[in-house]
Structure 1
């Protein structure tokens, strides 16, 4: 198949207002290197800015292309994807392929994946509460028995709805909580008050996920970037979320996360993790969640914390979330990987249409 004659067209969809939409070009987009990588292999990529106020116009644009790459967070300045996801499902049903498809996001790009895949090698002590009543009934005893916990709303980003919770000695009815959003301070609150604070999460995400706290959190987080089923690079960052701020306060320089240091897929220090992701964990996840390899997002990432050292003294890794809705920034090697995956998907889409 020669995809350069005529050129295939791809929409790169992101959120913005009417002014951003009017000014959008490939050159001034934060995805400029993705546009360049697609152009280098003969694919015509176009920026499309989305907002609920002009959704009908966006829908018409998406129906006119061969594929759609979506970079829209689950929550952004109070707006969710409640209207965008049905629009994308409708577009995908009419021909263009969409990455990541909303139904794929609901399987792998939500915190519930931590519970559903807990038996894979990346899992930890993880529980799911399907209702506020279950949370109220089960969480207090688990907190007292198993030490500090991390609670996560099912859909969110930027630390929204992620809490470290720990029991206080000799104060059974009071807990210390710390929100993962930047600038948060620890609070000592009645457990009942905190439980009530979490109840709205069940309305948006449908469940609440509970993981054991990882004490090696200060060692940083490793972001494993994937394009389809292959590793596209890594990022390592010293994070500050869920770590109490220093005495200078949450706005001090000492309380800010370190830079994310990007690495290519061949970085030697991450080859054990790469083999696990490509050979074991991603295939295990796709089988467990019934996600065909062609449906995996063209760019997604799995965020890992360091788990306990194994018997030989080697690092282990614990999955803390998967980002499939809006994975950016990305390593230097990732745009070319995205372009290769897009080209492959276009071939698959054509072959599927021809065979049907």
Structure 2
């Protein structure tokens, strides 16, 4: 719509998530899991509309998105065997025709994949990290690295829910067998031939394009800190005692002791994460943007960086190691985050409107 001829135009945002035909028929702001986001948009004078995506209704979804000024996307990279390949093409097409899309698929391919761990490894959040470009490099380089440097964590480039993330340990007195533990909930350690495990991982090159290899962080039991970002500013934190890549107790992976703890949410001003916030806003996010060639207006409206505790520094303070960035489907979020999202979206819409008027 031409905003010069329609100055009273109310900005509209489509909130896109995946669902089936029933979810599409019944979708409302009130029954959405994003209801607090809808409320924050309403308070900011922005009309938000739920849009449910499935590959079978792609044309109808495209029409809905083209009718909006902007699109916020909450769709996992992998869901019940389905990837985002078709959706990403649709979103690129929509963005090329006018509406801005967050997160844009091309931005996700820069920062929302495990390759970001390698590309930004020399920032203050980095660790001992390597990238295998293809199956031949993986087969040639990984065994010696595992034997030389202790337990490793392998990660397929795109995934969620622990899919394609493995802790791998060398075993004493043998080079042909390794102990592996998948990060998906309910997994048990396995002792498998190294050659068989390498073959198991080779399909990851087809979907994700590479495998990332990080040194295992022994402070994993201390929990993971999820730093929620809206654009370039911290919107809150979540701390959780995770169980992924930690062997379950003798009672088994379904026992209460094997379950992750609750994610405890905190606002952006939480004092225990003050140093992490300063690093994210003043150093690490700007450094990432420069390395990956991402401008501030292209940063996702909501994204998160997941950190593990690294070794204490010389003064006894915590350090932090990035283990992944979530830019495809960052949810649940702290209670302060919906208002931050609405503020960031408002700025993006005003910028887009100004560019259109110019």
User: Does the TM-score normalized on the shorter chain lie above 0.5?
Assistant: yes
CA-to-partner distance for each residue in 1:255-290, whole Å, 9 max, x for gaps? 000000000000000000000000000000001000
Pick aligned residue for 1:120 from 110, 120, 123:
123
Q: Does 1:163 align with 2:166?
A: yes
CA-to-partner distance for each residue in 1:317-342, whole Å, 9 max, x for gaps? 00000000000000000000000000
For the residues of structure 1 that align with 2:320 and 2:352, how far apart are their CA atoms? 35
Q: Does 1:208 align with 2:211?
A: yes
In the other structure, the counterpart of 2:283 is 280
In the other structure, the counterpart of 2:237 is 234
CA-to-partner distance for each residue in 1:77-131, whole Å, 9 max, x for gaps? 1100010000000000000000000000000000000000000000000000000
In the other structure, the counterpart of 2:263 is 260
In the other structure, the counterpart of 1:95 is 98
CA-to-partner distance for each residue in 1:29-58, whole Å, 9 max, x for gaps? 000000000000110000000000010000
For the residues of structure 1 that align with 2:230 and 2:8, how far apart are their CA atoms? 25
Structure 1 residue 6 displacement after superposition: 2.3
Give the secondary-structure state (helix, strand or coil) at the position aligned to 2:346: helix
For the residues of structure 1 that align with 2:43 and 2:317, how far apart are their CA atoms? 41
Q: Under a length normalisation based on structure 2, what TM-score does the superposition of the two structures give?
A: 0.98
In the other structure, the counterpart of 1:336 is 339
Q: Under a length normalisation based on structure 1, what TM-score does the superposition of the two structures give?
A: 0.99
In the other structure, the counterpart of 1:146 is 149
Give the secondary-structure state (helix, strand or coil) at the position aligned to 2:250: coil
Give the secondary-structure state (helix, strand or coil) at the position aligned to 1:175: strand
Give the secondary-structure state (helix, strand or coil) at the position aligned to 1:171: coil
For the residues of structure 2 that align with 1:329 and 1:263, how far apart are their CA atoms? 12
In the other structure, the counterpart of 1:66 is 69
In the other structure, the counterpart of 1:81 is 84
For the residues of structure 2 that align with 1:348 and 1:201, how far apart are their CA atoms? 39
Structure 1 residue 351 displacement after superposition: 1.5
Q: Does 1:322 align with 2:325?
A: yes
Q: Determine if contact 1:4/1:42 at 8 Å carries over to the other structure.
A: no
Structure 1 residue 5 displacement after superposition: 3.1
CA-to-partner distance for each residue in 1:277-321, whole Å, 9 max, x for gaps? 000000000010000000000000000000000000000000000
Structure 1 residue 4 displacement after superposition: 9.4
Q: Determine if contact 1:165/1:176 at 8 Å carries over to the other structure.
A: yes
In the other structure, the counterpart of 1:37 is 40
For the residues of structure 1 that align with 2:8 and 2:164, how far apart are their CA atoms? 47
RMSD, matched Cα: 1.2
**Long gaps (5+) in structure 2:** none
Give the secondary-structure state (helix, strand or coil) at the position aligned to 1:313: coil
For the residues of structure 1 that align with 2:357 and 2:316, how far apart are their CA atoms? 53
Pick aligned residue for 1:187 from 173, 186, 190:
190
For the residues of structure 1 that align with 2:254 and 2:174, how far apart are their CA atoms? 30
